[in-house]
Chain A
Amino acid sequence: MNTHRLKGAGILTASAIALSLALTACGGSSDASTASCTPKHPGIQTVAPGKLTVGVIDIPPFSSYNSGKPNGIDIAIVSNIAKDECLEPAYQQATYADAVQSISGGNIDLAVGTIDATEKRLKAVDFSASTYLDGMGIVSKSGATTVSDLEKMNKVGTIDGYLWVEDLKKILGDRLVTYPSSVELKADFDAGRLDADVDAYGVQVLQFKGAAGVKVSLANEKPDARVGAIAHAPEAAFPMTKGNKSLQEALDAGITAQRADGTITKLLTGAGLSEGLGKVAEKQYVVPAS
Chain B
Amino acid sequence: MTWLTEWAGYLPQMMAGLGVSLLIAGISIFFGYPLGLVLSLMVTAKNLAVRTLGLAVVEIGRGAPALVILYLFYYGLPKFGIAFESITAACLALTWNSAAYSSEIMRAGLQSVARGQLEASNALGLSQRDTFFRVVMPQGMRSAIPGLMGVAIQMFQGTSLAYGIAVPELMKTAYNIGSQDFNYLQIFTLAGLCYAVISMPATWITVFFEKRMARHT
On A, residues with C-beta under 8 Å from B are 96-101, 118, 120-121, 123-125, 157, 160-161, 165-166, 177-180, 184, 187-188, 191-193, 239
- The answer to whether A193 and B179 have CB atoms under 8 Å apart is no
Q: Which of B75, B79, B179, B182: most chain A CB closer than 10 A?
A: B182
- The answer to whether A180 and B185 have CB atoms under 8 Å apart is no
- B34 contacts A by Cβ under 8 Å: no
Residues of B within 8 A of A99 (CB): 182
Residues of A within 8 A of B75 (CB): 184, 187-188, 191
Residues of A within 8 A of B178 (CB): 97
- B166 contacts A by Cβ under 8 Å: yes
- The answer to whether A96 and B185 have CB atoms under 8 Å apart is no
Instruction: How many A-B residue pairs have C-beta atoms within 8 angstroms? Tell me.
Output: 60
Residues of A within 8 A of B185 (CB): 101
Interface string of B83-112 (1 = CB under 8 A from A): 100100000000000000000000000000
Across the two chains, which residue of chain B brings its CB closest to A119?
A: B181
What's the least CB distance linking A178 to chain B, in Å?
A: 6
- Sort A-B residue pairs by CB-CB distance and give the 8 closest, nearest first: A161-B179, A191-B78, A120-B181, A100-B182, A160-B179, A187-B75, A97-B184, A179-B166
What's the least CB distance linking A30 to chain B, in Å?
A: 36
Residues of A within 8 A of B166 (CB): 157, 177-180, 184, 188
**A146 and B83 alpha carbons, distance in the complex (Å):** 28
Majority secondary structure, B binding face = helix
- The answer to whether B182 and A124 have CB atoms under 8 Å apart is yes
What's the least CB distance linking A237 to chain B, in Å?
A: 13
What are 15 sample pairs from A and B whose C-beta atoms fall under 8 A apart?
Answer: A96-B179, A96-B182, A97-B175, A98-B184, A100-B183, A100-B184, A101-B184, A120-B180, A123-B181, A157-B166, A165-B176, A180-B164, A180-B166, A191-B79, A239-B182
Across the two chains, which residue of chain A brings its CB closest to B180?
A: A120
- B162-205: which have CB < 8 Å to A? 163-166, 172, 175-176, 178-185, 188
**A157 and B74 alpha carbons, distance in the complex (Å):** 15
Residues of B within 8 A of A239 (CB): 182
